[in-house]
């Protein structure tokens, strides 16, 4: 029987690239994060790794956000052209 170590953890988190933290967006003196300037990565929750399924969900939501942004840009372009 093979040992399935790779079932746990899986792949390096695509959000923080394994750093486990991401830059916060509170900004300087107003930062209310524990680590001032960094916060636990919201994708891997500070694990640095995610399952392949979680990675796929992340990329899927990135694609959707990108597509929504593109279509919003197109719509505003059309309004300007009118
Ligand atoms: Zn912050
Ligand atoms: Zn992460």
Domain ranges for the chain, please list them: 11-81
Q: Which ligand is nearest to the CA of 48?
A: 2
Q: Running DSSP on this structure, what letter comes out for residue 39?
A: E
Q: How far is ligand 2, taken at its centre, from the CA of residue 71, in Å?
A: 28
Predicted confidence pLDDT, tens digits, the chain (82 residues): 555 554 565 899 999 999 999 988 776 677 777 767 788 899 999 999 999 999 999 999 999 999 999 999 998 887 766 6
How many Å apart are CA 67 and CA 18, to the nearest integer?
26
Entry pTM: 0.65
28 to 21, 23, 33, 74: CA distances (angstroms) = 17, 11, 10, 35
* The pLDDT value given to residue 2: 53
The Å distance, Cα 29 to ligand 1 centre, comes to: 9
């Amino acid at each position: 029987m093979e040992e399935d170590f790779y079932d746990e953890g899986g792949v390096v988190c695509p959000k923080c690239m394994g750093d486990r933290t991401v830059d916060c967006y509170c900004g300087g003196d107003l930062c209310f994060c524990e680590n001032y300037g960094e916060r636990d990565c919201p994708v891997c929750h500070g694990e640095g790794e995610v399952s392949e399924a979680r990675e796929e969900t992340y990329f899927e939501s990135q694609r959707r956000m990108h597509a929504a942004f593109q279509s919003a840009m197109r719509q505003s372009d059309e309004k300007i052209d009118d």
